[in-house]
Amino acid sequence: MYPGMTMTANLQDILDDPTVDALVIATPVYTHFDLASRALRAGKHVLLEKPMTSTVDEANQLIDLAETSGRVLMVDHTYLYTPAVRQMKTYVDEGMLGQLQYVDSTRINLGLFQTDVNVLWDLAPHDISICRHLLGGKPVSVQAVGMSHTDNQLENIAFLTLFYPENRIAHFNCSWISPVKIRQMLVGGDKKMIVFNDLETTEKLRIYDKGYTVLPQSDRERILVDYRTGDIMIPKIPQFEALAELAKDFRDAIQEGKAPVSDYLSGLEVVEILAAADRSIKQKGREIIL
């Protein structure tokens, strides 16, 4: 089908090829550090599948290698390039939602059980990267609980909570053992709220003009709340291929020196949160300060 394509089972063949400027690494996470570090040392630009690495130390070492060699290191957080997430980011930046208060995400289905990482490392990077993209900044602490129902002791269901400054909170429900497939994220502000349903084909976003106001005469004995219910808007979102946009961003970062949307700092922060979540799970849900 592609007669001009050269195939090899030996990575060194690629690293030694002067006509190859960049590598895309889509392999199990435990191999990322070895493959990416070899590529960076060979002077290649690298686009890594998510999550970036299996430890924070490995992620920091790759960043040092990329900076030392002057090579681009990107992470494939594809959702940041989807039309729906780009539209949500525009709404947040324009202030349509007001002050963001929470993100509540559900990413569940039946399977596919992984053999090297638990369900958070498999599914949560999508939502953590989206959350970082929308909220900006870094959570101050992480709390997680999870359970394994297999002999390998890798959690197949888990709940992750991120605590941010200014009373903002994000919660992720991840599961491989749900009878239904759900890909839904709620983003709430003090003016409006968004429901992002990734399984919808055309109406992925709904903006709800709903909210509440705590009346000033409230006291400890009673809280008076005024609720607002307005219209529901379903925006028309332009259609384009997210992976193509990610590839363009990688190309522009290499050729023009532009800072990519899904940079290595995004990859590092996701790994930091996942590593903290693992520690929290092992300590029965203890809050881990970042």
What pLDDT is stored for residue 208 in this prediction? Answer: 96
In the CATH hierarchy, which top-level class contains the domain 11-76?
alpha beta
Q: What's the pTM?
A: 0.93
Per-residue tens of pLDDT for the chain, all 290 residues: 678 888 899 999 999 999 999 999 999 999 999 999 999 999 999 999 999 999 999 999 999 999 999 999 999 999 999 999 999 999 999 999 999 999 999 999 998 888 889 999 999 999 999 999 999 889 999 999 999 999 889 999 999 999 999 999 999 999 999 999 999 999 999 999 999 999 999 899 999 998 777 777 655 566 777 777 888 999 999 899 999 999 999 999 999 999 999 999 999 999 999 999 999 999 999 999 99
Domain 11-76 identical in fold to domain 80-240+272-289: no
CA distance 89 to 92: 5
- Strand-pairing partners, residue 35, are none
Q: Where are the domains of the chain?
A: 11-76, 80-240+272-289
Which ranges in the chain belong to alpha helices (H)? Answer: 11-15, 32-41, 56-69, 83-94, 119-135, 242-256, 264-282
Specify whether the CB–CB gap between 143 and 288 falls below 8 A: yes
CATH of domain 80-240+272-289: 3.30.360.10
The CA angle 128-134-140, to the nearest 5 degrees, is 60
3-state SS, residue 170: strand
